[in-house]
Amino acid sequence: MSQRDDSQPPAASKDGTERSNAVSARRLTGPGSLEREKEAVFGRYWVYVGHADSIPEPGQFFTRNVGDRQLIVVRGHDGAVKAFDNVCAHRGSKMVEDTPMTDPGGGGRIQCPYHLWTYDLDGDLRSTPKSFEDASLNPDLDSDEVQEFDCEANGLNDVRVDTVGPLVFANLGDDPPSLAEQVGAAADRLEELPLEEYEHGRRIVSEVACNWKLFAAVHFDGSEESDAEGTLAVDDYGWTVERAADGDGSEDRRPDGLEAQFHYCWPNVAIDVYEDVDGYGTVVLDPVGPDRVQLIADYYFRDSDLSEAERELVRTTRQRRAEDAERAEHRRAGLEGGASDRLGSNERTGAELRRLAQEADEA
């Protein structure tokens, strides 16, 4: 994907706020913002849903909320990762309980507890109770003798998935662009790294009392500080910060010769390839209310038994998120009090977030 000339930050809006590079508070607070974004953002763009290595065996699955929909992300018998709406085709019942990526479920098939409709790992309907349709033929629906019942029309609703290495993204749209087009340069950088060789080491979940974009504006603006030591590349839907290796042997681990990488992929995930330890992490922004966001931080290291340096990194990054959460909550209070959010001329990542928020708001 081509990169734009980011020598000047784009204006936050096309109206009178363009002159001051200010963004309206309504885009960062208020109940209407999230309802619009469930369709305009989370129903349109590729959204990070989890790590493929958490479900290594066929039949293993986890659930993930995207907007108002919950997905089942499952490893198929063919080894591919697939996703379906967690909704039975019969009466619309929720089929499996909330299942985090860190504690996946398993089984050869997916069964609805309401009327026991059962689906295979491709989402195809395989059996129903004997009380349904012809009791002499059910629960075997493979027979061509089943009358007036189209099994293919009664399967689970499948959702598009694609991956960058072991990182799984889903798209709820009808005709989305490719994941590579949306993720941009980050896809190439991350594909060069052996991310699948790392083990999940820690998960930390927290909540912040602010809009998810407001926390992103606070937390991810810090990535721009690295531009003095490395490079900042801005794509249409995110940015990448890279710092050159210092010759300490890290090139063996990172084929592109970089000491550290930070990628923000709109709308909901940042991927951080660490500088001080051998590992990487993801931070997911999961809006759970118009002014509340859940942060899901996952850490990956060479061994799930963390070293002292790795434990210290977890502590340090957790503390930074807590400090940024406090700052974001203070900014929310100011915006709700009538303030606008202005940017300096060098705050390029902040300007990118404003642009993306505006595009979503006007979609």
Averaged pLDDT, 87-96: 92
Task: Express each pLDDT in 178-235 by its tens digit.
Answer: 999 999 888 998 999 999 999 999 999 999 999 998 899 888 765 444 444 456 676 6
Q: Is the pLDDT of residue 146 over 60?
A: no
pLDDT level of residue 306 (50, 70, 90 thresholds) = very high
CB–CB of 29/41 below 8 Å?
A: no
Q: How far is CA 183 from the centre of its chain?
A: 12
Q: What is the pLDDT of residue 51?
A: 98
CA nearest neighbour of 55 among 42, 71, 66: 71
Domain 16-32+188-362 has CATH 3.90.380.10: yes
3-state helix, strand, coil split of the chain in percent (to 5) is: 30, 30, 45
For 311, residues 6+ apart whose C-beta sits below 8 A from its C-beta are none
Least confident of 120-129, 187-196, 243-252, 276-285: 243-252
Task: Express each pLDDT in 29-39 by its tens digit.
Answer: 666 778 888 99
Q: What is the pLDDT of residue 252?
A: 44
Residue 157 structure tokens? 């609703």
Q: What CATH topology corresponds to 47-175?
A: Rieske Iron-sulfur Protein (2.102.10)
Count of helix runs (H) and strand runs (E) in the chain: 6, 18
To the question of pTM greater than 0.85 for the whole model, the response is no
Q: What is the pLDDT of residue 61?
A: 98
Q: Is the pLDDT of residue 246 over 90?
A: no
Q: What is the pLDDT of residue 228?
A: 43
CA nearest neighbour of 239 among 265, 216, 204: 265
Q: What is the pLDDT of residue 245?
A: 45
Complete DSSP assignment for 162-211: EEETTEEEEE-SSSPPPHHHHHTHHHHHHHTS-GGG-EEEEEEEEEESS-
Parallel/antiparallel/unpaired status of strands 199-208 and 258-265 = unpaired
Q: Of 34-38, 132-136, 166-170, where does the model show the most confidence?
A: 166-170
Task: Express each pLDDT in 108-122 by its tens digit.
Answer: 999 999 888 899 999
CB–CB of 361/36 below 8 Å?
A: yes
Task: Express each pLDDT in 314-349 by its tens digit.
Answer: 999 999 999 999 999 998 888 777 666 665 555 666
Q: What is the pLDDT of residue 23?
A: 54
Q: Is the pLDDT of residue 363 over 90?
A: no
| 324, containing H or E segment | helix 308-336
Whether the CA torsion 162, 163, 168, 171 is positive or negative: it is: negative
Q: What is the pLDDT of residue 345?
A: 53
The residues facing 292 across adjacent strands are 289
Whether the CA torsion 103, 108, 43, 5 is positive or negative: it is: positive
Q: Is the pLDDT of residue 104 over 90?
A: yes
Least confident of 55-59, 130-134, 182-186: 130-134
CB–CB of 205/195 below 8 Å?
A: no
Q: Is the pLDDT of residue 275 over 70?
A: yes
Q: What is the pLDDT of residue 25?
A: 59
Instruction: Select the more confidently predicted residue: 298 or 244.
Output: 298
Q: What is the pLDDT of residue 131?
A: 54
Averaged pLDDT, 133-160: 65
Mean pLDDT of the chain: 81
CA nearest neighbour of 205 among 343, 297, 269: 297
Q: State how far the Cα of 319 lies from the Cα of 107, in Å rounded to an integer.
A: 38
Averaged pLDDT, 10-39: 58
pLDDT level of residue 70 (50, 70, 90 thresholds) = very high
Q: What is the pLDDT of residue 334?
A: 83
Q: What percentage of the chain carries pLDDT values higher than 70?
A: 70
Domain ranges across the chain: 16-32+188-362, 47-175
